[in-house]
Amino acid sequence: MSDFRDLVADAAARVADYRERVDSLPVFPQDTDIRGALGDLPEKPTPAADVIRRLAGAVEPALVATTGPRYFGFVTGGALDAATAADILTTGWDQSAFNHTTAPAAAVVEDVAGEWLKDVLGLPSTASFGFVTGGQGANTVGLAAARHHMLAKAGWDVERRGLNGAPALRVVASEERHATIDRSLRLLGLGTDAVEPVRADAQGAIDVADLERVLDGPAIVCLQAGNVNSGAFDNFAAAIALAHEHGAWVHVDGAFGLWAAANPASSPLVAGVETADSWAADGHKWLNVPYDSGYAFCAHPESHAAAMSFTAAYLTGHGDGDLRAPSDFVPESSRRARGFATWAALSQLGRTGIAELIERCCALARRFADQLGEVEGITVVNDVVLNQVLVGFGDETDRVVEAVQRSGECWMGATTWHGQRLMRISVSGWNTTEADVDRSVAAISASWKAVRERRRG
Ligand SMILES: *Cc1c(COP(=O)(O)O)cnc(C)c1O
């Protein structure tokens, strides 16, 4: 056996060992001296096997068990078996998914996976798509297409002339938009002051009457599928119809919430979303693809390509002849072949498996809410319409969250929503079971009890 074969087999075995043990590890690591274990920059070459031994030795004790069944932070899921293995292959194959010349296999797999994604998410089959880094990347691409489209309608070629001297662009977005929308606007030169905020209702969905008040004429309207705190959905049918009456472009940030469309029981939450102009969704959240996986979709392929195309922005490039060039729809040139892991995740689950994943996570979120709501002094403050549960512990929330995190039993973060400090539970992992929820509820209840007793004591 070659050294390389041994090395890769060793790495694969480490991955398998880690995944087999992850359920029994503390979900958040104890303090370890990662820096010390990494050592100094070596003067001379080091055998690859020693490098990997050192890296794994330093890092493994400090890993967060995001692939385990009791990680409930940040709406990120774990990573499915097939998607993980496909991502390992992606690294080994080392293809640059620029276009059909650099990597024909990567280009075709992205084509196929992109079509499947539109199908599963209920988006128009004519929409264009780009495989990007995540929700942030997808929001940036969607808003760049919007910027191009709206300014072109006003007679201004933003790709060539930039924003200096351009007609003003209005951006209308909910006061509860995700922070990545603001960063995208910064990157695109529109700036955060461009946002005209619209009120949100008690659950964090956009107030359509207030949207009507704010809208007067062309604008970029940002809507949201899945409020990052409450999981609430904007009323797409009403809001999009209204925005289109004003000649607006509608971008939907659906990083995790767009997946509601893939499950018949939750798809009414996104009714009408397919009439928007651009959409952002994540692979590395609810689809349980390893990190570095997001999708930008656009109902106006010409505007999408005009904003992103590599060769020249004003030549709406569509690759070699009839072939779609992946790089015309993303902001990068040389790039990881992201389609392989997504294709593997979709293949492993199939249409019914995806629906079951979404349904199971929603049911488990309701289980959290039902059980925690029964405990004296604990309040569930949101309508649990999806996979998000917001839990209050009076003025002890931060202490309880901290105690739960320290227990290592499970992990969830804290948030401030409508002026209240709250525990934020997101159920997004493919491998979370009812028993994991029950065990986590027990850990939360125990922490709550301990914090209360300490306060009284
Ligand atoms: C997570 C999230 C994003 C950002 O996605 P990344 O993949 O972290 O870049 C954007 N919008 C919403 C609603 C999100 O939940």
10 Å Cβ neighbour count for 354?
Answer: 22
Its pTM surpasses 0.75: yes
pLDDT of residue 407: 96
- Among residues 344, 376, 392, which one ends one of the domains? 344
Read off the tokens for 173: 């977005």
Q: Quick one: 100 and 198 in the same domain?
A: yes
pLDDT band at 243 (very low <50, low <70, confident <90, very high): very high
Whether the pLDDT of residue 326 is over 90: the answer is: yes
Average pLDDT over residues 53-78: 96
Contacts of 353-357 with CB under 8 Å at 24 or more apart are: 354/120, 354/259, 354/262, 354/263, 354/287, 355/262, 355/263, 355/264, 355/265, 356/263, 357/286, 357/288, 357/430
Q: Whole domain around residue 45: which residue ranges?
A: 2-65
Burial bucket for residue 189 (CB in 10 Å: 0-12, 13-18, 19+): middle
Whether the pLDDT of residue 17 is over 70: the answer is: yes
Q: Quote the ligand 1 centre to 176 CA distance (angstroms).
A: 13
10 Å Cβ neighbour count for 332?
Answer: 18
Q: Which amino acid, residue 172?
A: V
In the chain, the N- to C-terminal Cα span, in Å, equals: 64
To test ligand 1's pocket by mutation, which of 178, 224, 417 has the most ligand atoms within 8 angstroms of CB?
A: 178
Q: In which region does residue 61 sit, left (phi positive, over 0), alpha (psi from -120 to 50) or beta (all else)?
A: alpha
Read off the tokens for 322: 């009839």
Whether the pLDDT of residue 319 is over 80: the answer is: no
Q: Is 132 helix (H, G, I), strand (E, B) or coil?
A: strand
Note whether residue 433 is domain-resident.
no
Tens-digit pLDDT profile for residues 74-106: 999 899 999 999 999 999 999 999 999 999 999
Note whether residue 379 is domain-resident.
no
Q: Quick one: 57 and 92 in the same domain?
A: no
Note whether residue 80 is domain-resident.
no
Domain with residue 30: its CATH number is 1.20.1340
Q: Quick one: 94 and 59 in the same domain?
A: no
In terms of Cα–Cα distance, which of 432, 430, 433, 436 is closest to 81?
Answer: 430
Q: Quote the ligand 1 centre to 255 CA distance (angstroms).
A: 5
Q: Quick one: 156 and 261 in the same domain?
A: yes
Whether the pLDDT of residue 191 is over 80: the answer is: yes
Rounded distance between C-alpha atoms, residue 139 and residue 281, angstroms = 9
Note whether residue 316 is domain-resident.
yes
Q: Is 230 helix (H, G, I), strand (E, B) or coil?
A: coil
pLDDT band at 431 (very low <50, low <70, confident <90, very high): very high
Rounded distance between C-alpha atoms, residue 332 and residue 132, angstroms = 8
CA 75: distance to chain centroid? 7
Note whether residue 454 is domain-resident.
no
Read off the tokens for 450: 């301990």
Pairing of strands 171-174, 220-224: parallel
Q: Is 189 helix (H, G, I), strand (E, B) or coil?
A: coil
Q: Quote the percentage of the chain above a pLDDT of 70.
A: 97
Burial bucket for residue 377 (CB in 10 Å: 0-12, 13-18, 19+): exposed
Read off the tokens for 211: 């949207």
pLDDT of residue 1: 53
Q: Is 170 helix (H, G, I), strand (E, B) or coil?
A: coil
Of the ranges 145-154, 308-317, 358-367, 368-377, which one carries the lowest mean pLDDT score? 308-317
Q: Quote the ligand 1 centre to 88 CA distance (angstroms).
A: 24
pLDDT of residue 315: 45
Read off the tokens for 177: 């938009």
Q: Quick one: 59 and 144 in the same domain?
A: no
Rounded distance between C-alpha atoms, residue 383 and residue 423, angstroms = 15
Read off the tokens for 159: 């790709």
243 lines ligand 1 (CB under 6 A): no
Average pLDDT over residues 423-445: 98
Name residue 43's beta-bridge partners.
Answer: none
* Distance (Å) of CA 68 to CA 103, 155, 361, 369: 34, 52, 14, 21
- Among residues 344, 377, 412, which one ends one of the domains? 344
Average pLDDT over residues 370-388: 98
Whether the pLDDT of residue 318 is over 90: the answer is: no
Tens-digit pLDDT profile for residues 275-315: 999 999 999 999 999 999 999 999 999 999 999 998 754 44
- Among residues 318, 344, 370, which one ends one of the domains? 344
The mean pLDDT of the chain is: 95
Q: Quick one: 61 and 149 in the same domain?
A: no
Whether the pLDDT of residue 375 is over 50: the answer is: yes
Note whether residue 377 is domain-resident.
no
10 Å Cβ neighbour count for 32?
Answer: 14
256 lines ligand 1 (CB under 6 A): yes
Q: Quick one: 47 and 155 in the same domain?
A: no
* Closest atom of ligand 1 relative to the 136 alpha carbon: 9
Q: Which amino acid, residue 33?
A: D
Note whether residue 133 is domain-resident.
yes
Q: Quick one: 167 and 308 in the same domain?
A: yes
Q: Quick one: 291 and 181 in the same domain?
A: yes
Q: Quick one: 219 and 281 in the same domain?
A: yes
178 lines ligand 1 (CB under 6 A): yes
pLDDT of residue 217: 85
Q: Quick one: 197 and 304 in the same domain?
A: yes
Note whether residue 392 is domain-resident.
no
226 lines ligand 1 (CB under 6 A): yes
Read off the tokens for 123: 């988006």
Is the torsion defined by CA of 32, 34, 37, 40 positive or negative? Answer: negative
Q: Quick one: 101 and 26 in the same domain?
A: no
* Closest atom of ligand 1 relative to the 254 alpha carbon: 13
Domain with residue 232: its CATH number is 3.40.640.10
In terms of Cα–Cα distance, which of 433, 421, 430, 411 is closest to 29?
Answer: 411
10 Å Cβ neighbour count for 59?
Answer: 14
Residue that is written with structure tokens 């880690």 in the block: 18
Is the torsion defined by CA of 12, 17, 22, 28 positive or negative? Answer: negative
Domain count, the chain: 2
| Strand (E) or helix (H) holding 173 | strand 171-174
* Distance (Å) of CA 77 to CA 258, 338, 426, 428: 15, 17, 9, 4
